[in-house]
Amino acid sequence: MGQCGITSSKTVLVFLNLIFWAAAGILCYIGAYVFITYDDYDHFFEDVYTLIPAVIIIVVGTLLFVVGLIGCCATIRESSCGLATFAAILLLVFVSECVVVVLGYIYSAKVEDQVNHSIQKVYNQYNGTNTDAPSRAIDYVQRQLHCCGIHNYSDWRNTTWFQQSKANSVPLSCCQPSVTNCTGTLRRPGDLYQEGCKALVVKTLKEIMIHVIWAALLFALIQMLGMLCACVVLCRRSHDPAYQLLVTTNSYA
């Protein structure tokens, strides 16, 4: 009976190690996605510490490749030292992912204040050229999120670019793609995106943080299961006489 329990735990451990390798790739992808998205929205969210959860996730993903290798070798070779190392590293990864969840929650709560603080300044820096970083950021966001202005397209009236151009028009990135020959003129507001960008930027950044939190929670639960299985194998190996006899017999064979 004891040997059956150990075998079941070992089978689960091997399966979990395969999941860890898959999880490592997923976590690295999520971390890289956060970095890329931050690069697109960094003018609207200037707190670089927001990237800390992404950094931790990438480090954890890399560590999980090593964990999976150690776990497979330790399980196949029935190494007590290897299984203990496996469980210890999993505990470290588990704590790291709990930190990611806490930081993700903290930064998710700060998103709206950060965007409110910076978005008006970014719009005032717009000059309509592709060589200017704030201008590229605004055009990208307006096309990507299908929005125009801060609250709506009329906010462009208060920008320096609008007042200097005196064209009574907004950037072409405000034009709906279904409209042909759109010039951005405010005399044809139906050609423009009706929704403002601030709410959509906040929503997008919060969704990214929520994805990070859920990914960290999910893989933390998987790692907890891995730690439990490793502990079960270690405990039964040290206390089960039948298992000790089997190991001794196999070693002499």
d(CA 46, CA 144) in angstroms, rounded, equals: 20
Q: Would you call 192 helix, strand, or coil by DSSP?
A: strand
Residue found under tokens 């999980």 = 64
Contacts of residue 15, Cβ cutoff 8 Å, sequence gap at least 6: none
For the chain, give the number of residues: 253
Burial class (CB in 10 A: 0-12, 13-18, 19+), 67: buried
First to last CA, the chain: 23
Given this model, what pLDDT does residue 208 score?
Answer: 84
pTM, two decimal places: 0.75
- Full pLDDT tens readout for the chain, 253 residues: 444 444 555 666 667 677 777 878 888 888 888 888 777 787 777 666 777 888 888 888 888 887 777 777 766 666 677 777 777 888 888 888 888 888 888 888 888 888 888 888 889 889 888 777 888 889 999 999 999 999 999 999 988 888 888 888 899 999 999 888 888 889 998 999 999 999 999 898 888 888 888 888 888 887 787 777 777 777 766 655 444 433 444 443 4
Distance (Å, whole) CA 151 – CA 120: 11
Q: SS3 letters for 36-63?
A: HHHHHHCCCCCCHHHHHHHHHHHHHHHH
Predicted local distance difference test score (pLDDT) of residue 191 = 92
Angle, vertex CA 158, rays to CA 153 and CA 161, nearest 5: 90
Closest-CA residue to 57 (of 28, 85, 77, 36): 28
Contacts of 17 (CB under 8 A, 6+ apart): 67, 68, 71, 72, 75, 226
CA distances from 248 to 226, 238, 253 (A): 26, 13, 9
Tell me if residue 166 falls in helix, strand or coil: coil
